[in-house]
Every structure is written in structure tokens, then in C-alpha cells.
Amino acid sequence: MKKIAIIGFGVVGSGVYEIIRKNKDALTKKSGEEIDVKKILDIRDFSDHKESHLFTKDFNDLLNDGEIEIVVETMGGIKFAYEYTKALLESGKSVVTSNKELVATHGEEFFRIAKEKNVRYLYEASVGGGIPVIRPLACDVSANEVVNVSGILNGTTNYILTKMFKENDSFENALKNAQELGYAEKDPTADVDGHDACRKIAILMSLVTGRKIECEDINTKGIRNVSAEDVTYAAAIGCTIKLIGCGFVENGKVSASVEPMLIPASHPLSSVEDVFNAVTVKGNMVDTLMFYGRGAGMLPTASAVVGDVIDIVRNGEYNPYYSWGDADKEKIIPYEDINTKFFVRIEEAQKEKIASIFPDVEIIKGVSDYGFVSPLMSVKELDEKLTAAGGYISRIRLFR
Amino acid sequence: MKKIAIIGFGVVGSGVYEIIRKNKDALTKKSGEEIDVKKILDIRDFSDHKESHLFTKDFNDLLNDGEIEIVVETMGGIKFAYEYTKALLESGKSVVTSNKELVATHGEEFFRIAKEKNVRYLYEASVGGGIPVIRPLACDVSANEVVNVSGILNGTTNYILTKMFKENDSFENALKNAQELGYAEKDPTADVDGHDACRKIAILMSLVTGRKIECEDINTKGIRNVSAEDVTYAAAIGCTIKLIGCGFVENGKVSASVEPMLIPASHPLSSVEDVFNAVTVKGNMVDTLMFYGRGAGMLPTASAVVGDVIDIVRNGEYNPYYSWGDADKEKIIPYEDINTKFFVRIEEAQKEKIASIFPDVEIIKGVSDYGFVSPLMSVKELDEKLTAAGGYISRIRLFR
């Protein structure tokens, strides 16, 4: 019998409890041992819960319980989650989390402690909800040098963009609709401005490179400025617009970003709709793989958490393949040095100047203005050329 | 230093050699130990190869080499591969294979020996080429009861069907084109008649249920009879046609089949084109996941083989989660008892009778005949009703 504890009985934490109760027999078969929830830490009152005796408000009840070998941290936030996770790992317990902010911010420190104590710190649920992506990167593609990871990593923004494309909704209406359905928070900043996706691509690229990639080094732009006219242009050039977190490894250096991108209709990411998430991984041997599924929600996310718990029940010893070390700022390619293409919108009056600066591009007419696909060059060079041409209305990067 | 050997230096075997040479540093980092190819068994002459000293024609050179701990079997076929694999496992070596026929036919016996000898028998490359699907089923979705696995498991037939849909090619022309491009064999039977997909869904459902699912219990139909008119009907009802290997688990019983199916355009499998493969897995907690990528080809398939080798270098002890036991015929749901829907094509003269037997269906006109979607019922019941209505021209099952 393996005893576990849960910290934070919110959406994901209660999902973990539900799966362990509901799939008990299957879990025992798959773990080789029965898994039981011994304690649940939450500051809220659960005296009405049918297993109210499991709940405690005192962290020490978990920390000092020698029977509890694995703790699930699904409380979110940084302050308490950091202190609790550190103390638990130091006391020789393994920790499983869905807390992407914590993994992205303090992962490297936790891996160090986990190594010292020969326990595990796992975080499959922190990226892509129920979609397996951490373990495939750590294990399945290990024969490859991973050269690119790109993903639709946030369901809220994907739902909004899908509504804008399919129903010609404005951003504001689509957001309101997402809020009504519970897909978006009252304060949608973390989703809409790309911070959530930023933490997730930070985790994925840290895992791929073995070095912490910090959010401050990831150029992050959300979808607030994607307009109905952008949607029209995108359709005209056979693309959809998706909020993409992506990272490239080139000659040992790394670039990472979060921004709306134009995806050709032929690419599998373009048909990922509504709240679904998907991650593509490109290895130098296997070419492009895609992992698709529900990127959020109680049971899908809890499914990933419990998958990690089972992994630890099967093998509780430290495993270096899920870890990374400290950041190495010298290995970061700044956003302005990325070589890429953009779809650039310009005023009618700029047409001639643009045509002389970019002689080979085709300028197409939109509803109220003009647009063109810029040639492959660094962001910096493009910016200089556009400044010389009198600026631009907006620009969206092309997915490659 | 971990010494490995390769049996069969064909497409996949030479890909394994290439990856181990090319990604050497990355592999050492990811395995924690250097991996080196010590011997290669192939009956053909490789005296011109730059490392010709590695080659041998004598199996005993591998079997009796105590330094070789892991053997990659990429020779294909049953007879020799079976004898070699059995002898290697019995001598305490782990074996990694891409040989789907062998895994589907003798897997349960190899797992038994592997358990006795505390070594591993892994087969990620046997299904979906480079796409991770075995390990995700064995590990990532372990918190779930898997209720359905469905996949586009054969690239050749998917290429042919894509040509038929996109370019209105006939089956014969598309097959010829696939043969010219090297996607189809001169004798395309194994692909076109569904035998290849059958072995793969047999492996997946054996893994999911823990019991061998035998190919003889999988109703298998290929794509030879898919016609241009079927394509027209499919488009008319918003579907594509894909060769799908699928299996369902219901109340502890299993049904599995391989057949062309109508896939709604909204389903992610419908946009899997050309030689790409994809597998969807539905768990009772995580809902539907999809894994997508190159289902064949030298380096993608070899990437999966080397991923298994690295897994064994990291941990060479027997692991029960990749295994299954003997078949249990009583747990098989016969094809005729499956509850499903079909698109049925009928003669004009049958219209009235069909309308009276199936009062709620809408009969649509094709080019030369008529068609309708049958209500949900068992295959047996549908067959009886269709016989009463004077038979049918053809029928294609609807994906669910």
C-alpha cells in the first residue's frame, strides 16, 4: 500500500482524489501496489466531505507522516507551493505537480534536492493538461536531437481564436463567450496575454536543452490585438492564426517565443480547435511528431498527475532525464536575431516604398489596407526596413 | 560502455546504426553511458561497408558474446526472428524489435522469458514507426481505463486514400503511384488488404487489455473495394475514408477490427494525410488523445528502436507494464455483435423496401445509385435487415 497526500483540493486536486477512488482496481494492477490517499491539505472547510477525516489545515501533518511517500501539489501559486515542495523533497518524499509557474520558476532547485535525496519531482500535468508530452520528450524521442518544439499550449486563447475564425466573432465577443462558458477567468490576463503559454514553453525548452529557459528570455505576445481584418488576411493566404509557444535549438543555442502565428492549413496544428491543445516535436531523426488532446479540465489534468504518481510507485528513485540545470544566458538567441517571415499590414500610401525596399514580395489588398509576406530575414533587419518604409499597422509571424 | 548488436541490416537496422553513429554524444548524455554497436548479423555481403569488421553471418557470434547486453532485431519475418529472439532472451540479453508480425504472434511467450531472466523485450517501433504509442499506453495513460484505441496504422493505404480523395484518383492509379514512389511493395497485399494494420491493432489491444488479441479474431478488410463513388458519397456527408484499425473495451470484453471507415471532417484523424500515421487513445479520465507522425521510414522507425535501447540502458530490469498474457477467447466480442452504423449503398429499386425497414433514415442519391446511414444496431441485425431488403451494393462503417 502506497500512501499519498494531496495539497490543494481545487479542480485538479479533487480530480486526483476522484481518479484514485474510481479507477482503484485498474491503478493497483498498473502500479503493482494499492495507492491510497491518506491526507489532504487545504485551508478551506471540507467538514461536509464524505471523507472529511482526510482533511487537515496543517502542513506538518503531511510533512511528519513517515507513511506518506508521495505528495501531489495541486495548489498553484508560488509562495506556499515553493516552501512546501522544498520541505517535502528535503524530507525524502517524492512530489508530483501540475503547477507550471512553480516548475518554470524553481524546477532546477527541486531537481537538485530530488537528486540529493534520491526521490522524484514530476510535472507531466504542468504542460498540455492530460496530453503526454513531458515523458515523450524525456524518453521516447531520446534517440533524437530535438530541434524544435511548437505548441498550442493554452485552451482559452485557442477557443477564442477558433470562434473568431469560424464565426467571425470579434476578440471581445469571443472572450466574453469563453468567460460565460468558464473557459476564461474573470481576469483573463494570464491566458490572453500569453503568460500561461510562456511558462509551458519555458518548461518544454528547459527539458529539451537541459538548461533552465527563463520566462524573461521568452518574447511573449498575446492575442488581444488579433483583429477581424487579420482573420480575413489569414484566410486569404490559406492560414489560420494560433497562439504558438515555440522554441528552436540551432547550433547549441536556443530561441523561444510566444505569439500569434499564421499556420498553413496543411499543417496538423491548424486543425486543432476549441479548447484542445497540441504540441509538435521535431527531432533530427524522427521528423515531426504531434501530441494532441485536452490541455485542461479536472479529469484530463488529474489523469496526468496520477500517471506520474504511478510512475513513482513503479520506480521511486531519482531519474535525471526529467531534469534541467541553471540557466545559461549566453545560449539564448534574442528575439530580434531570429530569422523568420511575417505577414505585415501597411497603409495604402506605403505601397510604393515597400515595393522598392522588398522588390520580390506580392502586396495584397485587404478590407481597409494592404499586406505582404516579408522575405526570410532577422526580426531586427525587418524592423529596420519597415521603419525606413514608415512603419506598419500590424504584423504576425509565419509558422515554420 | 553498453555493447549492442543488430540483427538484420536492412532499412531499419541500418537506420539504427546510423543514429547511434550520428547522435553519439546526445545518446551518451541521455543514456548515462556510451552505446556502441559491437556486431551486426546479416546473411548478405557487407565486405564493402566502412565497418565491415562488425558484420557476421553466424548468430552464435552474438549469442555467445557476453559483452553484448542488448540486441536489436530488425530482420522481420517469423521463423529465424522467433528462434533468435527466444535464444537471446533465454541467454539473458534484452531484445528490441520493430517486427510487428513477431510481436503480435509470439509476444506473450517472449514476455514470459523476459520476466524469468529479468531482462526486457521492447517493441515501440512495431506500431506507428517513429510515433510514441507503446510507451504512452504503458505509462502515460496508466491512470485511465482505456476504452478505445483507433488508428491510421498503415502509411501506404493512407497515401492511396489521400490521392483518391484529393486528386480523384482511382484505387488502381493511386496504388501504381504509391509503388512508383516506393511507398508500396510490388506485392502490396500486406498493406492494401489490411494485414499490416491488423498486426498493429493486435499489439495495441493486447497491451491495453493485458491479454493477447489474435489476428484471427480481428475482422480485417482492406481498401481494394473503395471506389470513386464511395469517395463522392463520403464527401457528400462531410467525411473522409481512412483505413482504421480500432479496438473497444466494453464491460471487460474486447472488439477489434480493421476496415475502411468514414471519418467526420471535424475529427482529428480525418486530417492525417499521405504516409502519416496517427493513433487516438480514449481513456475514461483523459478523454481522447492523439499521437501523430511518420509511421514508417528508415530514421523515424530507427528513432523508436534506439529510444527503446536507451530505455534499457537506463533500466535493464524486466518491466511488467509492457507485457501481456495468453489470449482469452471468451473475452472477444465477435464482429457481428458490434453495435455501429454503416453507410450503405443500394439500388434504386430497393428504395421503397429500405424506407419501410428503416423508416427514419434519409436516402440520398449518388451518381449511379442511392445510399443511407443505417441506425445504430449490431452488424448481425443490420445484415438480416439488409438481406430482407434484397442485399446491398457496398457498405462502409462510420467511425465513432
Q: Residue B392: give its domain's CATH number.
A: 3.30.70
Per-residue pLDDT, A239: 97
* Together in a domain, B257 and B308: no
Q: Is B252 on the interface with A (CB under 8 A)?
A: no
- Closest alpha carbon within chain A to B146: A26
Q: Is residue A41 within 8 Å of residue A62, measured between CB atoms?
A: yes
Q: Is A72 on the interface with B (CB under 8 A)?
A: no
Number of domains in chain B: 3
Structural domain includes residue B332 = no
Flag if B292 and A291 touch (Cβ within 8 Å). Answer: yes
* Together in a domain, A14 and A117: yes
* Together in a domain, B182 and B284: yes
CA B367 to CA B363: how far, in whole Å? 13
| ipTM given for this complex | 0.95
CA distance readout (Å), B343 to A119, B230, B391, B394: 55, 9, 13, 8
Residue ranges of E strands in B170-252: 219-220, 239-250
* Together in a domain, A183 and A243: yes
Flag if B320 and A32 touch (Cβ within 8 Å). Answer: yes
CA B349 and chain centroid, separation: 41
Q: Which three cell numbers stand for residue B371?
A: 445510399
Q: Is A238 on the interface with B (CB under 8 A)?
A: no
Cβ contacts of B135 on chain A, cutoff 8 Å: 135-136, 139-140
* Together in a domain, B124 and B139: no
Q: Is A140 on the interface with B (CB under 8 A)?
A: yes
CA dihedral of A125, A249, A140, B287, whole degrees rounded to 10:
40
Flag if B141 and A294 touch (Cβ within 8 Å). Answer: no
Q: Is A25 on the interface with B (CB under 8 A)?
A: no
Structural domain includes residue A30 = yes
Across the interface, which of A292, A304, A321 has its CB nearest the CB of B292? A292
Per-residue pLDDT, A388: 96
* Together in a domain, A305 and A278: no
* Together in a domain, A95 and A150: no
Residues of chain A with pLDDT under 70: none
Per-residue pLDDT, A286: 97
Per-residue pLDDT, A400: 87
CA distance readout (Å), B10 to A236, A274, B73, B179, B303: 46, 44, 11, 19, 15
Q: Is B294 on the interface with A (CB under 8 A)?
A: yes
Q: Is A52 on the interface with B (CB under 8 A)?
A: no
Q: Which residue bears the cell 449518388?
A: B366
Q: pLDDT tens-digit profile of B53-86?
A: 999 999 999 999 999 999 999 999 999 999 999 9
Q: Which domain holds residue A195?
A: 134-294
Structural domain includes residue B327 = no
Structural domain includes residue A330 = no
- The yes-or-no verdict on residue B170 having pLDDT over 90 is yes
Q: What percent of chain B has pLDDT over 90?
A: 99
Structural domain includes residue A40 = yes
Structural domain includes residue B140 = yes
Flag if A286 and B299 touch (Cβ within 8 Å). Answer: yes
Per-residue confidence band for B266, with pLDDT thresholds at 50, 70 and 90: confident
Checking A65-68 for CB contacts under 8 A at 24+ apart, the result is A65/A3, A65/A5, A65/A38, A65/A39, A67/A3, A67/A38, A68/A3, A68/A4, A68/A5, A68/A38, A68/A39, A68/A93
CA B341 to CA B393: how far, in whole Å? 16
The predicted model scores a pTM of 0.96
- Closest alpha carbon within chain B to A311: B139
Q: How many helices (H) and strands (E) does chain B have?
A: 14, 18
* Together in a domain, A41 and A161: no
Window 74-133 of B, Cβ < 8 Å to A: 124, 130-132
* Together in a domain, B162 and B37: no
Across the interface, which of B283, B294, B311 has its CB nearest the CB of A139? B311
* Together in a domain, B85 and B148: no
Per-residue pLDDT, B210: 96
A282 carries an active-site annotation: no
The amino acid at B229: E
Structural domain includes residue A118 = yes
Q: pLDDT tens-digit profile of B286-342?
A: 999 999 999 999 999 999 999 999 999 999 999 999 999 999 999 999 999 999 999
CATH of the domain at A143: 3.30.360.10
* Together in a domain, B89 and B152: no
- The yes-or-no verdict on residue B400 having pLDDT over 90 is no
Mutate to test the interface with A, among B139, B292, B324 (most CBs of A within 10 A): B139
Q: Are strands A394-398 and A342-346 parallel, antiparallel or unpaired?
A: antiparallel
* Together in a domain, A284 and A378: no
Per-residue pLDDT, A266: 87
Closest CA to A305 of A18, A3, A2: A18
Active-site residue list of B:
200
Per-residue pLDDT, A284: 96
The amino acid at A237: I
The amino acid at A132: P
Q: Is A303 on the interface with B (CB under 8 A)?
A: yes
Q: pLDDT tens-digit profile of B339-378?
A: 999 999 999 999 999 999 999 999 999 989 999 999 999 9
Flag if A139 and B142 touch (Cβ within 8 Å). Answer: no
- The yes-or-no verdict on residue B152 having pLDDT over 90 is yes
CATH of the domain at B96: 3.40.50.720
Flag if A132 and B140 touch (Cβ within 8 Å). Answer: yes
Give the list of residues 6+ apart from residue B225 with CB closer than 8 angstroms, or none. Answer: B394
Q: Which three cell numbers stand for residue B85?
A: 529472439
Structural domain includes residue B330 = no
